[in-house]
Amino acid sequence: MQNILRHIPKTDKLLKALQRELESNFNLNLAKKLILEFLENYRQDLLQGGEILEFQACVQCIIKQYHSLTQKSLKPLVNATGIVVHTNLGRSVFSPSILQEIYPILTRYNNLEYNEEKGCRSERYVHLKGLFKALLGAEDVLVVNNNAAAVFLIFNTFAKGKEVVVSRGELIEIGGSFRIPKVMSDSGAILHEIGTTNKTHLKDYKEAINENTAMLFKAHKSNYAMSGFVKEVEFGEIVELAKMQNLIDYYDLGSGYFGLSGFEKSLKKFEPALEEIAKLNPSLVSFSGDKLLGGAQAGIIFGKKALIDELKKNQLLRMLRVDKFTIAALEATLNAYLEGKTDKIPTCHLLLKDKAELKQEAEALARLIPQDFAPEVIPTKSYSGGGAMPSHYLDSFGVAIEAKSLTPLGLDEEQLEKSLRSFGIIARLENCALILDVRTLLAGDKERIAEALKNLAHLKHKN
């Protein structure tokens, strides 16, 4: 037994070897920790009849662990799915040029909560107020961690122990287990459902109002659409009714967009732009900062100043507050809208690409891909994602690699999709083909796809 343990290498010998291999990446503390862990496991293994490792195999084992710990887990991927605002892939892509603009703010002290004129403490939300006034004519604005937090904060502030009137057609569930009825009960609000799944009328709202009613609520149908025998009440009518009855109206818009973004033309018939909603003079509206807006994760609340002031008094706001990263990112993004420079915002840019441009990009991608794959340019359907226009697709182009062209390489389309994932490329499968939609490709992505496919073809030819 003791003889076997003699094969365990000495710690300082391992340390020296690691230092040699890792060069400038070598960190003594981490190396020591991993060597101890490795030796302990190796000892157990040997005692249980495990195989004896060469010294160099031990070193490589520890180095592998070292790299897996020091390499970043969060990393850039290629989105070839055609879904522009893809929550699993980080939602809206943040603008490289806006990141440059805010770099000096984030890497220095700043006036986040300081009024340098008066030399006194200030509020972090003031930085966005003027922009929302200019863009939407909104009285005031508040920003929290995300839109889910905004919904919770609003219910908790205005409807704790009171009723919120909601259409049965809008009791939504969105990804990540956010369900309106549950959010409402957790916030202390009482749900008062009205109408039916497919039809809700203004009179349903009127009849529901009683002395315990606090709010008339509307939720955007972000991820489903209803058609056929359906009726919902326009938000404008809800605002009017709320005003008459001295109640708060609130619209959870999910994914708000500015008409200024330029995609009003294609979106308008599905949902109104923020400017249109602001014109209705609503009590409160909330939406996400990283869906169609194309900024950073945030829940943006705008509306009446008196109500925003109430929200600011809620202790919960301290738990939901955003930091300088979010405020700087949103301020610069909103500035881009105000100045009409929406091309800087990747989400706008990607959604606005036209068919001719997309076709050219698909052709360029097809030329880069090794001909073993018989790449074929095809029209595709891409989606905005991010809780907007769930039933509407955007015409796009892509490159298809069909199953039959993969046979000589000893692959099928599912194996290809999986292999591409190992190169950080996310594509989709459709009718026995792998589809790479070019709408969502960013600078350098075509080359990265071509390189991955070249490597795959090379590996297959070698086998």
Ligand X SMILES: *Cc1c(COP(=O)(O)O)cnc(C)c1O
> Taking the chain, what is the end-to-end CA distance rounded to the nearest angstrom?
43
**CB nearer ligand X, residue 131 or residue 174:** 174
Write out the binding residues for ligand X, residues 71-90 only, by CB under 6 A: none
**Taking CB under 6 A as the rule, does residue 333 contact ligand X?**
no
Binder among 140, 163, 249, 252 for ligand X (CB under 6 A): 252
Binder among 32, 110, 122, 178 for ligand X (CB under 6 A): 178
Site track for ligand X across 94-133, x = CB under 6 A: ----------------------------------------
Q: Which residue has the tokens 């943040």?
A: 94
User: For residue 382, what is the enclosing H or E element?
Assistant: strand 376-385
Site track for ligand X across 275-294, x = CB under 6 A: -------------x------
**Taking CB under 6 A as the rule, does residue 445 contact ligand X?**
no
Exposed/middle/buried for residue 173 (C-beta within 10 Å: 0-12, 13-18, 19+): middle
**Taking CB under 6 A as the rule, does residue 299 contact ligand X?**
yes
Tell me which residue of 94, 109, 146 sits closest to 344, measured CA to CA. Answer: 94
Q: Please report, as a single letter, which amino acid is at residue 187.
A: S
**Taking CB under 6 A as the rule, does residue 303 contact ligand X?**
no
Span from 15-23, 66-74, 140-148, 374-382 in contact with ligand X (CB under 6 A): 140-148
**CB nearer ligand X, residue 252 or residue 361:** 252
DSSP E strands in 74-209: the ranges are: 78-79, 83-85, 114-115, 120-121, 140-144, 163-167, 173-174, 178-179, 190-194
CA distance 400 to 380: 10
**CB nearer ligand X, residue 154 or residue 433:** 154
**CB nearer ligand X, residue 66 or residue 152:** 152
**CB nearer ligand X, residue 169 or residue 254:** 254
CA distance 429 to 413: 7
**CB nearer ligand X, residue 209 or residue 273:** 273
CA distance 321 to 314: 11
CA distance 71 to 197: 49
Here the tokens at position 3 are: 């003889």
**CB nearer ligand X, residue 178 or residue 423:** 178
The count of chain residues that interact with ligand X, using the rule CB under 6 A, is 16
Residue 288 and residue 405 in contact, taking contact as beta carbons nearer than 8 Å: no
How far is residue 72 CA from its own chain's centroid?
19
Half-sphere exposure of 206 (CA within 13 A, CB side): 7
Q: How far is the CB of 146 from ligand X (least distance, A)?
A: 3
Binder among 79, 81, 95, 147 for ligand X (CB under 6 A): 147
Residue 61 and residue 264 in contact, taking contact as beta carbons nearer than 8 Å: no
**CB nearer ligand X, residue 35 or residue 151:** 151
**Taking CB under 6 A as the rule, does residue 295 contact ligand X?**
no
**Taking CB under 6 A as the rule, does residue 146 contact ligand X?**
yes
Q: How far is the CB of 285 from ligand X (least distance, A)?
A: 11
Write out the binding residues for ligand X, residues 371-400 only, by CB under 6 A: 387
**CB nearer ligand X, residue 164 or residue 172:** 172
Q: How far is the CB of 167 from ligand X (least distance, A)?
A: 13
Q: How far is the CB of 256 from ligand X (least distance, A)?
A: 10
Q: How far is the CB of 462 from ligand X (least distance, A)?
A: 45
**Taking CB under 6 A as the rule, does residue 254 contact ligand X?**
yes
Binder among 86, 127, 218, 220 for ligand X (CB under 6 A): 220
Residue 360 and residue 396 in contact, taking contact as beta carbons nearer than 8 Å: no
**Taking CB under 6 A as the rule, does residue 255 contact ligand X?**
yes
Span from 40-48, 103-111, 147-155, 348-356 in contact with ligand X (CB under 6 A): 147-155
**CB nearer ligand X, residue 254 or residue 303:** 254
**CB nearer ligand X, residue 222 or residue 261:** 222
Written as one string, the DSSP assignment of 20-67 is HHHGGG--HHHHHHHHHHHHHHHHHHHHTTPPPPPHHHHHHHHHHHHH
Q: How far is the CB of 68 from ligand X (least distance, A)?
A: 31
Tell me which residue of 414, 406, 354 sits closest to 375, measured CA to CA. Answer: 406
Angle in degrees, CA 284, 282, 140, rounded to 5: 55
Tell me which residue of 256, 244, 284, 280 sits closest to 159, measured CA to CA. Answer: 284
User: Which positions lie near ligand X, rule CB under 6 A?
Assistant: 146-148, 151, 172, 174, 178, 219-220, 222, 252, 254-255, 288, 299, 387
